[in-house]
Structure 1
Amino acid sequence: MPTKTAEDFLAALADELAISESRYEQARRSYASLGDWLHRPESTVVKYDPQVYVQGSFRLGTAIRPLNDEEEYDVDSVCLLRTLGTKDLTQSELKTLVGDEIKAYRNAQSMIKPVREGRRCWVLDYADGAQFHMDIVPSVPNAARQRLLLETRGLDLKWSETAMVITDIESPVYKVLSDDWQRSNPKGYAEWFRQRMGELFERRRRELAESIKASVEDIPDYRIRTPLQSAIMILKRHRDGMFEGRYDERPISIIITTLAAHAYNGEEKIADALYSILSRMDQFIEHDGNHCIIRNPSDPLENFADKWPEHPERELAFFEWLQQARQDFETLAGQVERRRLIESIQPRMGAVADRAALRLGPPPGTMLHPATAAAAVGSAAASTPVFPNTRREPTSPRGFA
């Protein structure tokens, strides 16, 4: 088990990485404002019952501060036209339909920067002081076809009701009517992730509501952070630091998040959650004899590692990162001296390690008897978690619920 000092430091590290509640509220206001715009009487899409909602790390509560002041927050959102389907229009037509409204919104809001087109989304760039941009992915529902696809393969239908399809300008059928669109299911994934957090999330939400004498429904999700979310935030920043000069190779966040959520076992302390995740996360990688498979829990037909065969350096980078994370946090777990805590992860975590230490307040006095200090360090070393130092052969995940 990690030392008490290590646990406190990891908690401070998560606090330092967390984005402020005002940032979450800023993101919420932004996509809510766009949703209101799409529902105005003059809207060209209002008859299609549009719904705009956030997805990705902002929805999961695992967003972290950028590495520096030059980087922006990336707020991922969805624009779902709920009464349309793939038989009604092409991907190109949907992209244009939604894009025209987003451009009109940008003009009405007197936003300075032009709307940009991404591969699967439109990008709204806010003023420099806001330090964020919003990616809006046009989509239509796909529940019926998703159920059919899963049923024919004998797979779980649990999350199929929220399935959707999205536009992709690189799709070979981008400009023709086709059912073969890129699938997605951010709502289903978010619900799966919430289940993985377990009852702890709801308990903490109730406790906060009671402490401020509010109803549970009035407590937004972003005000609650579980050990699973904190551990993922720490691992993402460790990844960022390790691959700062190798961006294209770095393990993508959805892979880290998915494997971490599988490996989480309900631990109530950040340190316990982190070490449980690091020791077990590679057990939830399947292997079909040739390739690794990291299934999307909300769509078991999607493989988050599908780019690894084409880019084998990314598979190697994932296991390189996992080995380094195990080594760094194993070293950290046994430390009782603050300076050594910082040194154990600073090469990968950077200045955030120093700022986390400052959150702990002044270092305690060091007037310990030498024998007592030695005993404390020896005890900590004996209880340090030990991770396997060899790459595991991937196995099949044991369930996605």
Structure 2
Amino acid sequence: MNTLHSIQEADTDSLEQMLSMLLDGAVETLDISPDLYDTAVRRYKEVGTWLGLHASPDYEIYSQGSFLLGTVVRPQTPTGEYDIDLVCRIPLHKTSTTQDELKQRVGSQLLEYRRWKQSQGHSDGPSSLESRRRCWTLGYTGFHLDVLPAIPDDEHQPTGILLTDKNLYKWQHGNPIGYADWFSSRSELSHALLAKRASIADVPVWHIRSTLQRLVQVLKWHCMTYFGDDTDNRPPSILLTTLAGRAYRGEDDLFTALRNVLAAIPGFVERRNGQWWVANPAHKEENFTDKWNEYSERRQAFMTWFRELTETMDNLSLMHSEGLDAVYSHLVKSFDPGPLQHSFTRYANRMKNTATQQRMSATGLLSTTTAGPRRRPQTFHGQHTDARD
């Protein structure tokens, strides 16, 4: 990286603003693009419509997890395909079916859907259909849809559901709609988010990212980078999302919010009767750290990662006298350099343009009125899955 002396001298952003924009710009490149988002929505709505016409009008398909929450991060896999989790809810009582029967029932209907698309000569149908532990996976270009068969949870109405799991005897509880409502209420603490939505009504709400959504994306991105292929010990995204949501206090600045959340997270991990516990805000009986009690190494892995990220953020907070190059160099020691390189380049160009405007204004070639005040670039146009992925 070439040192940008003149740019740094002209820059008036605070360290917190600089770090916030570098992190925000990086995770924006990992977010799902509006076009791919819209394509995915069309695909799963078509699946739901087909099931309603050919299976039963009572079938209901809706998104859950990161796609519903707006915290999707592109996986660091060879294909880089996004995982989009869906619920296929069928209004049956659990005494009228079994987990296996429900799984096969939904799978048969999805197989028929795929055959129908092929028979009609449609090129936009799923390229594959696979059975997995808890779901059926429909493959598309750039993403795949994980469809989780579910029935209503009569003990947790109106949005609770029961899910299948071939490795577990009991039905698994969930409440993705209730969880999304809770997460949305936590996101709304940000005054900046409300101001954005009020000023750009023509932009769909899912293209506007709150500070909390970006914060969760940063945590997930760093976690994926840190753990690499060690998926067994990598903390599930629902745990990171829940801890971040509980600890967030409405800060608008991303870097400040991240540091404050990291400082508060330990206080939201409980010990209940000798068990580690982080409750699902939408289903208090569900524990997102249940695996910690079975595999102590998973908690240790979480703590090691957590300390590493906290130390990185603490060290960055001390770099007030450093320029953009030094801050960037420190960030890439802990984060994936690819997205950061893109963000660095865009931010450096913005700084360069600002310095040019200031020099032209100083020589009378450009008045301050013409140049106007420098504004922080908007990020709501955003590049913008089992909930327990």
Tell me which interval the TM-score lies in, with the shorter structure as reference length: 0.7 to 0.9
Given residue 161 of structure 1, which amino acid in structure 2 is its aligned partner?
P
In the TM superposition, 1:130-279 aligns within 5 A as 130-142=141-153, 144-146=154-156, 160-172=157-169, 180-200=170-190, 201-209=193-201, 212=202, 220-279=204-263
1:116 Cα shift?
Answer: 0.7
Residue 102 of structure 1 corresponds to which residue in structure 2? 110
Conserved? CA contact 1:45–1:97, under 8 Å:
no
Cα distance in 2 for partners of 1:26, 1:347 equals: 35
Q: Does 1:120 align with 2:134?
A: yes
Match of 1:361 among 343, 348, 364: 348
Residue 151 of structure 1 corresponds to which residue in structure 2? none
Conserved? CA contact 1:239–1:348, under 8 Å:
no
Conserved? CA contact 1:56–1:186, under 8 Å:
yes
Residues matched between the structures, number: 328
Cα distance in 1 for partners of 2:331, 2:273 equals: 36
Q: Which structure has the higher relative contact order (CA within 8 Å, separation 6+)?
A: 2
Cα distance in 2 for partners of 1:112, 1:234 equals: 31
Residue 385 of structure 1 corresponds to which residue in structure 2? none
1:328 Cα shift?
Answer: 1.2
Match of 1:340 among 326, 332, 335: 326
- Aligned alpha-carbon RMSD (Å): 2.0
Conserved? CA contact 2:84–2:146, under 8 Å:
yes
Q: Does 1:80 align with 2:89?
A: yes
Cα distance in 2 for partners of 1:329, 1:288 equals: 30
Residue 63 of structure 2 corresponds to which residue in structure 1? 54
Taking only the aligned residue pairs, the percentage that are identical comes to 33
1:337 Cα shift?
Answer: 1.6
1:69 Cα shift?
Answer: 5.3
Scaled by the length of structure 2, what TM-score is found? 0.79
Q: Secondary structure at the match of 2:96?
A: coil
> Compared with structure 1, are the counterparts of its residues 353 and 184 closer, same or farther at alpha carbon in structure 2 (3 Å cutoff)?
same
Q: Secondary structure at the match of 2:293?
A: coil
Structure 2 spans left out of the alignment, 5+ residues: 1-13, 119-124, 356-389
Cα distance in 2 for partners of 1:11, 1:30 equals: 29
1:32 Cα shift?
Answer: 0.4
Cα distance in 1 for partners of 2:93, 2:330 equals: 52
Cα distance in 1 for partners of 2:126, 2:83 equals: 18
1:68 Cα shift?
Answer: 5.3
Q: Does 1:20 align with 2:33?
A: yes
Conserved? CA contact 1:78–1:136, under 8 Å:
yes
Cα distance in 1 for partners of 2:178, 2:38 equals: 23
> Compared with structure 1, are the counterparts of its residues 194 and 112 closer, same or farther at alpha carbon in structure 2 (3 Å cutoff)?
closer
Conserved? CA contact 2:89–2:151, under 8 Å:
yes
Cα distance in 2 for partners of 1:14, 1:245 equals: 20
Q: Secondary structure at the match of 2:83?
A: strand
Residue 157 of structure 1 corresponds to which residue in structure 2? none
1:357 Cα shift?
Answer: 0.4
